[in-house]
Structure 1
């Protein structure tokens, strides 16, 4: 067999073994051989190599009534840490966790319109590296979530902040000597959610904020399209010849159904200015009629959009990540009821389990998979320690 093929097989076997240990702890060598259909000699050699690298740990013997007790293995998830950054229109969130998405700490930073993004991100990364590496916690990867179009780690377009150079990731990587992965925030969000719905291989994650983004998972793989434009759900047309959009079209979905659009419409109906999401949710809980009317509008618009997605993708699960659906318990059920009146296709629609940190956890997953050279990582979070 050619050397190149031998190396490819060896690398693939190593990937399979490490991924299984990461996602199914604790596990014995015999379990690995049984589930992965690899010889005991192959398993022993790979496990020994991973133990020497300190990527996995032996944690004692399994409890058995007969024979020799097998030694159990688990992933050393604190081998290193990952840093995820979510660049929002007016705020930046940064999260550090171990390689399994646990031991999380979130920091929040204001992002003013006049600020330059690269110097601000450089300062944020410097601060977090200094804090963590003083504790001998090595950062092995950085991810940056961008509200815009990203292709092959380059930012092609973003409507919210000026970017003098599309190579933001490579510039940060050159500064810090750490791999930096840049991705669309909605794509990161679907990666984060899918790590918690691990058995669901076809999923759509809808992020509703100032705009509307969408991440698409097909057969377990992120779908981005030819140039990275797949998932621009907010720029599908709801009303032909409607409001003009900065993208160049008219009547785009996010001009009517985004949180920003809904709050602006609520302000017009009530005579209030600069209505915040907290103020709106408070009015809704106090049963202000206009607040309930505007939520009916949100349900209608979102149902129309989701109906189109179900008919286009025939997906298993749609995760709706919006302050409205996350904090008003019956929003999702009302959307499901609306859809049931117009079509009979089966699709689960649920609120986000991760809410504000879905993109951050997707970034942790992306960096961890990149460092470990595995394809699928289950992650879970501990209660978050929010720091401002």
Structure 2
């Protein structure tokens, strides 16, 4: 039983009620009382507050039975908006979503520089544009979360971004000064795992998300919470050494896993083989479909090295679900079954291994979901990308 002062208990009850409204999409006061265990008076007071704040709306539901039609409560999608940003090596992706987690606009900026000041200016301008665009809503642009393909500590300081060569950057405060908007900084792999939990695997308590894009990152969800480690640096699995004295890595080591099993490493090798510096996923898919010998041989090696790391991860964490976030694997026939053929250890156990349905949207959608969670101050949240359905 939760005990404490009245204000604290009220906050806990509010969080619980909002979470259950999200989870059910639409729900009556009577059903809220049943599933939360709160009395009807508490539900009525909390609902009245949330209605006054425009965070929820009432809808009278049609039904065929005799008697009064039930009044349903749901999240007011237009009360405010959040912005998720994926800051990668060659691009910045922006996703604007309403506070039900449904994306309303997506934009991408291509990068040809790693200059911190230039990239800071680009992001600040876009945030200010979105802020103006959302000014009609009561809560406007309620929060911004940025996914970083690098090391972010528990104070949201960027410790190191290998692909850009950044060290000790305070992007959070720099953008707050420029825009006046609440900014949160998070590792992109953590956001990917959060998005898988929030949008796809609501009931999974132990979920891992492996991201294979410009590097390799691991997002770790244990008992529904992100595992970050002592400083916040947990999950930098791409710098696990798989080939002693192997290919030099920007981290300073030799033979890091991401030099053999990231999409960037695959594309570099493929480009060299085919003398083509502008390979796109559609081009690679055509090579797969045409059974191009060099490409198939390279993919065989990619799967082999990928499986070595996955085997290590499974032994370390014994996950319920391991989601691999990779556009390359999404277009490769039988990717999961080929990986599984390499996972032959009798001591490795997992329940489910799959390729992410969210794909390269996972980071920005996880960022949007985290911004909603922070804005509404809820402990858990379940969202859906289906219009008109929240859970």
Q: Is TM > 0.5 for Structure 1 vs Structure 2?
A: yes
Contact 1:263 1:275 in 2 (8 A): no
Residue 185 of structure 2: aligned partner = 182
Residue 191 of structure 1: aligned partner = 194
Question: 1:112 and 1:136, CA in 2 relative to 1: closer, same or farther beyond 3 A?
Answer: farther
Residue 318 of structure 1: aligned partner = 322
Residue 243 of structure 2: aligned partner = 239
1:335-370 Cα shifts (integer Å, max 9, x gaps): 122214765624311111111110000010010000
User: How do 1:193-212 and structure 2 match up within 5 A?
Assistant: 193-195=196-198, 196-212=200-216
How many angstroms does 1:248 deviate by? Answer: 2.1
Instruction: Please state if 1:283 is matched with 2:287.
Output: yes
Residue 60 of structure 2: aligned partner = 60
Distance 2:286 2:133 in 1: 38
Residue 110 of structure 1: aligned partner = 110
1:91-137 Cα shifts (integer Å, max 9, x gaps): 11111010122142110111122542211111221233333436888
User: In structure 1, the residue corresponding to 2:368 is in which secondary structure?
Assistant: helix
Question: 1:164 and 1:317, CA in 2 relative to 1: closer, same or farther beyond 3 A?
Answer: closer
Instruction: Please state if 1:347 is matched with 2:351.
Output: yes
Distance 1:266 1:56 in 2: 51
Distance 1:81 1:114 in 2: 29
Distance 2:88 2:169 in 1: 17
Contact 2:60 2:69 in 1 (8 A): no
Distance 1:241 1:163 in 2: 25
Residue 95 of structure 2: aligned partner = 95
User: In structure 1, the residue corresponding to 2:357 is in which secondary structure?
Assistant: coil
Residue 119 of structure 1: aligned partner = 121
Distance 1:315 1:164 in 2: 32
Residue 19 of structure 1: aligned partner = 19
Contact 2:327 2:360 in 1 (8 A): no
Name the stretch that deviates more: 309-318 or 135-144: 135-144
Distance 2:30 2:192 in 1: 36
Residue 148 of structure 2: aligned partner = 146
Question: 1:246 and 1:162, CA in 2 relative to 1: closer, same or farther beyond 3 A?
Answer: closer
Task: Structure 2 unaligned segments of length 5 or more: list them.
Answer: none
1:19-49 Cα shifts (integer Å, max 9, x gaps): 1112212111111111111111111111111
Name the stretch that deviates more: 373-382 or 216-225: 373-382
Q: Root-mean-square deviation (CA), in Å?
A: 2.2
User: In structure 2, the residue corresponding to 1:141 is in which secondary structure?
Assistant: strand
Contact 2:158 2:167 in 1 (8 A): no
Normalising by the residue count of structure 1, what TM-score does the alignment of the two structures yield? Answer: 0.91
Name the stretch that deviates more: 162-171 or 331-340: 162-171
Residue 386 of structure 1: aligned partner = none
Distance 2:167 2:111 in 1: 17
Normalising by the residue count of structure 2, what TM-score does the alignment of the two structures yield? Answer: 0.91
Residue 332 of structure 2: aligned partner = 328
Question: 1:317 and 1:30, CA in 2 relative to 1: closer, same or farther beyond 3 A?
Answer: same
1:170-202 Cα shifts (integer Å, max 9, x gaps): 221233222111111111111111112111121
Contact 2:210 2:216 in 1 (8 A): yes
How many angstroms does 1:64 deviate by? Answer: 7.0
Question: 1:117 and 1:132, CA in 2 relative to 1: closer, same or farther beyond 3 A?
Answer: same
Question: 1:26 and 1:162, CA in 2 relative to 1: closer, same or farther beyond 3 A?
Answer: same
Query: How many residues are paired up?
Result: 380
